[in-house]
């Protein structure tokens, strides 16, 4: 964006050539002498009243730094080194700090990603909302109290008078984010900056919060700057979209244009890397290489090194903005006069080669299922609640309450559900990392429950786990070789002989696509995706038959997620691994799984093949869950969009589940019988079962056809 461009009517925020730098790693007292690394380089955009600009990008692209920079709230190491931020005509970067404080929370407010940590734990909700009212509106006492009540009501909090006196820990995650929104709205801001506002929330809660944000924005005609990595959220919320890569905006377009014809090769790759756009079981498009480090930004186009269409010019000269359609601008040499001959192809859809490999892989996955590897029968994990002087048990948290599963070699079973439904506990109980309270777990026909530690040891080789966060799950003080070798040694796979061990480690590293040189390096030297590869290598090192994957890609960016999913697919085909895939991400399920089990409050409510559960969901909970997922595909084919089923409330406590069917308080189709007894399992097909009174044998004839209108 050139500086001479005039400010158009209604523009609330006008950012031009914003440059934000961070001091090097050892910045504290001597920050001034450290080299500055540009994290945001020449970013410009506008937000008008009543519109939503979504800034889309992967982690580290500078989108959050840009947002914090607008409010001048960068962390200590950050510096604004250039540009202009005009908000309602004033350049914020020139304002004295005292005046800037009237803008923060007053003109512009911000909500953050993690509601659990963004509220002060020791102050009441009323205090945290009232603070803003006092600061910006001068309201205190009764007037402030009344306004706080209005605000809490406006953000959809039931019983607001009671909530005002409560502390954040007494609220659920969704409720905390509502309070955060109330805090942000308290100063009557004209612009709302939302930094990944729903990333930490479950899909049904995410749907509620996005709906709330949309309606509040419409009511108040606020401008909104939405920072996100989720194309689905963009599709639902944005008016316009800006794509950030390595500190620059590379493409900007109105939403519909953006989804129908993304132009920048990076944007096209992002779409292609989405699991639900690819053929199931096939290989996902990935972006080779990594985002360049801040210290070694290339002189030309920053995406050139990873771009399939790059040629000489791209590496030499940074591309200028080109307008390719009305309001649709892109920074790519492909669209300049010089780049006329290089067609990027129509983005979004995997190219021919990818489709071919997908077909091959799909055939491979449809091999006849092998004998059953894992049988879980009526598994229960109850945690006692203790009270009183003698710590007597007064009740149980029924985290897992009668779960049965079966998994064959070479197959993937996805266990899906919202947080708190007990899916991770199932995984841990299968591995015997926590004691089950009842039921049986049999691996290769051998009962695991009740075995001594030494008896379990040989069986541990057969089952391994991959965890969610590769940053937290690898010991930072051990080298990669030690991390991988430890398991082999502990389970007696290799002797102490250095040679055999080193060869085994190299072999397993190659299997996950890492170089043998990684052996002597430490986890912090690797990127998130590489670390997850190390975690997979660690699990594979002992040649397991069963791998329990607990949200293995939810901490990763989309393009990295695609690499990991591809790797898991390849390993399954090559080694015949069985995966128990614990996740809340339906796109991943659709891509990877053969069978799906949906959990709600410690029990499985529906199970079947992927097609049965995802294409013809039967349980009202499954339907609501599926409809709440914001899919970028919907924006491209608006007609296929099913109506969103609003799920009221949140998942109840497993210590005190509702009587009858656990789901009845949130279910639109609940009847008297649902409140009385838990439904039996109804068989729909040989593979598809559901626990819902709608499908009970005596009701089948009258009710099974009822649709969720």
Partner 1 sequence: MLAYLVRRLLYALPILIGVNLITFALFFIVNTPDDMARMQLGVKRVTPEAIARWKGERGYDKPLFINESAAGIGVVTDTIFFTKSARMFAGDFGRAEDGRDIAREIVTRMGPSLAIALPTFVLGLLVTVSFALLLTFFRASYLDFWGVVLCVALMSISGLFYIIGGQYLVSKIWRLVPISGYGGGLDAWRFLILPLAIGVISGIGSSTRWYRTIFIEEISRDYVRTARAKGLSEVTVLFRHVLRNAMIPILTGVVVVIPLLFMGSLLTESFFGIPGLGSYTIDAINAQDFAVVRAMVFIGSVLYIVGLILTDLSYTFVDPRIRFN
Residue-wise burial string across 159-177, b where 16 or more C-beta atoms lie within 10 A, e elsewhere: ebeebbeeebeebbbbbbb
Residue 140 binds partner 1 (CB under 8 A): no
Residue 167 binds partner 1 (CB under 8 A): yes
Q: Which stretch binds partner 1 (CB under 8 A): 119-127, 271-279, 547-555, 657-665?
A: 119-127
CB 263 within 8 A of CB 347: yes
DSSP state of 73: -
Residue 152 binds partner 1 (CB under 8 A): no
Interface residue with partner 1, options 24, 50, 82, 106 (CB under 8 A):
106
CB 560 within 8 A of CB 536: no
Q: Which stretch binds partner 1 (CB under 8 A): 25-33, 88-96, 297-305, 394-402?
A: 25-33
Min CB(195)–partner 1 separation in Å: 10
Rama region for 247: left / alpha / beta (φ>0; ψ in -120 to 50; rest): left
The H or E element spanning position 453 is helix 453-460
Interface residue with partner 1, options 2, 4, 8, 28 (CB under 8 A):
28
Residue 78 vs 617, nearer CB to partner 1? 78
Residue 76 vs 221, nearer CB to partner 1? 76
Which residue pairs, CB below 8 angstroms and at least 24 apart, start in 455-458?
Answer: 456/432, 457/491, 458/491
Counting Cα atoms < 13 Å in the Cβ hemisphere of 485 gives 21
Q: Which stretch binds partner 1 (CB under 8 A): 118-126, 240-248, 270-278, 671-679?
A: 118-126
Interface residue with partner 1, options 11, 47, 49, 71 (CB under 8 A):
71
Residue 704 binds partner 1 (CB under 8 A): no
Residue 119 vs 246, nearer CB to partner 1? 119
Residue 76 binds partner 1 (CB under 8 A): yes
Residue 383 binds partner 1 (CB under 8 A): no
Residue 386 vs 675, nearer CB to partner 1? 386
Residue 27 vs 374, nearer CB to partner 1? 27
- The CB density around residue 331, as the number of other CB atoms within 10 Å, is 23
Residue 481 binds partner 1 (CB under 8 A): no
Residue 123 vs 517, nearer CB to partner 1? 123
Q: Which stretch binds partner 1 (CB under 8 A): 46-54, 96-104, 330-338, 495-503?
A: 96-104
Tell me which residues in 171-190 interact with partner 1 (CB under 8 A): 180, 183, 187
Residue 394 binds partner 1 (CB under 8 A): no
CB 151 within 8 A of CB 139: no
Residue 140 vs 446, nearer CB to partner 1? 140
Record the tokens describing residue 583, joined without a space: 């996740």
Report the DSSP pairing between strands 595-600 and 412-416: parallel
Residue 75 binds partner 1 (CB under 8 A): yes
CB 76 within 8 A of CB 60: no
Interface residue with partner 1, options 94, 150, 162, 169 (CB under 8 A):
169
Residue 114 binds partner 1 (CB under 8 A): yes
Residue 226 vs 537, nearer CB to partner 1? 226
Residue 118 vs 689, nearer CB to partner 1? 118
Give 218's contacts (C-beta < 8 A, 6+ positions apart).
50
Give 642's contacts (C-beta < 8 A, 6+ positions apart).
626, 627
Min CB(158)–partner 1 separation in Å: 19
Alpha helices, H only, 461-497:
480-490
Residue 99 vs 320, nearer CB to partner 1? 99
Which residue pairs, CB below 8 angstroms and at least 24 apart, start in 506-514?
Answer: 508/484, 508/537, 508/540, 508/541, 509/480, 509/484, 509/537, 511/537, 511/540, 511/571, 512/536, 512/537, 512/540, 512/567, 512/571, 513/567
Residue 123 vs 435, nearer CB to partner 1? 123
From the number of C-beta atoms within 10 Å of its C-beta (0-12, 13-18, 19+), residue 404 rates as middle
Q: Which stretch binds partner 1 (CB under 8 A): 71-79, 152-160, 332-340, 630-638?
A: 71-79
- Which is it for the CA torsion 486, 488, 491, 496, positive or negative? negative
Nearest Cα to Cα of residue 528 among 554, 500, 556: 556
Min CB(108)–partner 1 separation in Å: 9
Min CB(28)–partner 1 separation in Å: 5
Residue 170 vs 312, nearer CB to partner 1? 170
Residue 105 vs 197, nearer CB to partner 1? 105
Interface residue with partner 1, options 3, 6, 9, 29 (CB under 8 A):
29
Interface residue with partner 1, options 122, 295, 353, 497 (CB under 8 A):
122
Give 89's contacts (C-beta < 8 A, 6+ positions apart).
none
CB 385 within 8 A of CB 438: no
Residue 135 binds partner 1 (CB under 8 A): yes
Q: Which stretch binds partner 1 (CB under 8 A): 43-51, 103-111, 330-338, 358-366?
A: 103-111
Give 267's contacts (C-beta < 8 A, 6+ positions apart).
243, 250, 251, 258, 347
Instruction: Give me the residues that bind partner 1 (CB under 8 A), please.
Output: 28-29, 31, 71, 73, 75-76, 101-106, 109-110, 112, 114, 117-124, 131-132, 135-136, 167, 169-170, 180, 183, 187, 387-389, 391
């Amino acid at each position: 964006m050139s500086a001479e461009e005039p400010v158009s009517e209604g523009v609330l925020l006008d950012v031009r050539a914003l440059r934000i730098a961070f001091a090097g790693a050892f910045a504290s007292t001597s920050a001034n002498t450290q080299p500055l690394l540009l994290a945001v380089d020449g970013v410009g955009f506008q937000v008008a009243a009543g519109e939503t600009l979504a800034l889309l990008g992967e982690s580290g692209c500078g989108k959050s730094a840009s947002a914090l920079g607008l409010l001048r709230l960068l962390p200590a190491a950050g510096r604004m080194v250039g540009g202009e931020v005009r908000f309602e005509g004033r350049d914020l970067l020139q304002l004295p700090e005292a005046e800037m404080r009237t803008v923060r929370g007053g003109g512009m407010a911000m909500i953050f990603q993690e509601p659990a940590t963004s509220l002060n734990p020791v102050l009441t909700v009323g205090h945290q909302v009232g603070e803003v009212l006092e600061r910006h509106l001068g309201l205190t006492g009764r007037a402030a109290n009344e306004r706080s009540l209005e605000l809490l009501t406006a953000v959809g909090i039931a019983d607001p008078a009671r909530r005002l006196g409560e502390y954040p820990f007494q609220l659920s995650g969704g409720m905390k984010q509502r309070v955060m929104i109330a805090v942000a709205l308290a100063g009557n801001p004209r612009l709302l900056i939302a930094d990944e506002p729903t990333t930490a929330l479950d899909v049904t809660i995410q749907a509620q919060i996005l709906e709330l944000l949309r309606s509040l924005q419409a009511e108040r005609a606020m401008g909104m700057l939405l920072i996100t990595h989720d194309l689905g959220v963009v599709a639902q919320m944005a008016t316009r979209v800006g794509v950030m890569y390595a500190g620059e905006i590379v493409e900007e377009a109105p939403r519909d244009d953006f989804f129908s014809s993304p132009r920048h090769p990076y944007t096209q790759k992002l779409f292609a890397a989405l699991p639900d756009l690819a053929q199931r079981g096939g290989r996902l498009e990935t972006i080779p290489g990594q985002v360049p480090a801040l210290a070694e930004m290339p002189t030309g186009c920053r995406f050139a090194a990873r771009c399939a269409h790059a040629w000489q010019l791209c590496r030499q000269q940074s591309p200028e903005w080109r307008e390719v359609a009305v309001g649709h601008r892109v920074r790519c040499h492909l669209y300049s006069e010089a780049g006329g001959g290089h067609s990027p192809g129509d983005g979004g859809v995997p190219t021919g080669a990818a489709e071919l490999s997908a077909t091959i892989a799909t055939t491979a996955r449809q091999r006849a299922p092998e004998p059953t590897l894992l049988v879980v029968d009526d598994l229960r994990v109850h945690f006692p609640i203790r009270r009183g002087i003698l710590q007597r048990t007064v009740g149980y948290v029924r985290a897992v309450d009668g779960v049965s599963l079966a998994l064959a070699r070479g197959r993937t079973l996805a266990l899906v559900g919202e947080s708190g439904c007990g899916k991770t506990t199932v995984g841990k109980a299968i591995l015997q990392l926590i004691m089950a309270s009842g039921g049986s777990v049999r691996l290769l026909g051998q009962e695991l429950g009740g075995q001594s530690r030494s008896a379990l040891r040989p069986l541990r080789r057969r089952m391994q786990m991959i965890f969610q966060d590769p940053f937290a799950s690898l010991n930072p003080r051990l080298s990669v070789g030690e991390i991988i070798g430890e398991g082999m040694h502990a389970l007696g796979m290799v002797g102490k002989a250095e040679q055999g061990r080193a060869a085994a480690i190299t072999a397993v590293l190659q299997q996950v696509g890492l170089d043998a040189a990684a052996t002597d390096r430490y986890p912090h030297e690797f990127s998130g995706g590489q670390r997850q590869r190390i975690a997979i290598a660690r699990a594979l090192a002992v040649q397991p038959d069963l791998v329990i994957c607990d949200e293995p890609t939810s901490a990763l960016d989309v393009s990295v997620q695609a690499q990991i999913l591809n790797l898991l697919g390849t390993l399954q085909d090559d080694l015949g691994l069985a995966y128990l895939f614990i996740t809340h991400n339906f796109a991943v399920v659709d891509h990877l799984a053969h069978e799906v089990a949906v959990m709600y409050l410690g029990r499985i409510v529906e199970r079947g093949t992927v097609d049965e559960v995802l294409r013809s969901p039967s349980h009202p909970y499954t339907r609501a869950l599926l409809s709440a997922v914001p899919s970028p595909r919907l924006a491209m084919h608006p007609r296929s969009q099913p109506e969103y089923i609003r799920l009221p409330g949140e998942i109840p406590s497993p210590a005190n589940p509702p009587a009858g069917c656990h789901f009845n308080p949130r279910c639109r189709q609940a009847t008297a019988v649902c409140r009385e007894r838990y439904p039996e399992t109804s068989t729909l097909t040989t593979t598809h079962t559901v626990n819902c009174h709608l499908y009970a044998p005596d009701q089948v004839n009258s009710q099974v056809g009822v649709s969720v209108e």
